[in-house]
Amino acid sequence: MTALRWELKDVTEKPIDGIKAEPVEDNLFLWNCSVKAAPDSPYKNGTFHFKLEIPQNFPFKAPAVTFTTKIYHPGINEEGNICVAILRDQWKPSITLSTVLAVIQEKVNNPSPEDPFMPDIAAQLKDDKASFLATAKEWTKK
């Protein structure tokens, strides 16, 4: 619990531009978060909400991230799960929640066809970028 209080203090005192993160009521193990898309992102003007569920054995186990806002993205599936290596096989106890939030922001703003959760969207991004960008823009408006 002390580690989570330190993490919350870190996120609160050194906020990341474009990221909001706060515990749900007094539950330090569940946070409501959002990422505002960068102006040069395919998701420009969009704000995407997600939950950060922190396991009881944090920092020895990675938090779970679930997007609650739909996003047309090769690295985020229909259930809102995000494909990020540091939340899977590259997790280390030294990774902070601020780092997790920064990596999520980077992933949202810079979709890549590499290591996709959504192979069809990744293929579209790779083979028909204009169509991908139009669909991403349309979903962001919704």
Q: Which residue stretches of the chain are H helix? A: 2-13, 97-109, 119-127, 129-141
Q: Which one, of 78, 72, 97, 76, lies nearest residue 86 by Cα?
A: 97
Distance from C-alpha of 92 to C-alpha of 94, rounded to nearest angstrom: 5
- Beta carbons within 8 Å of 1's beta carbon, 6+ residues apart: 28
- From the list 83, 101, 121, 122, the catalytic residue is 83
Is 83 among the catalytic positions?
yes
Catalytic residue positions?
83
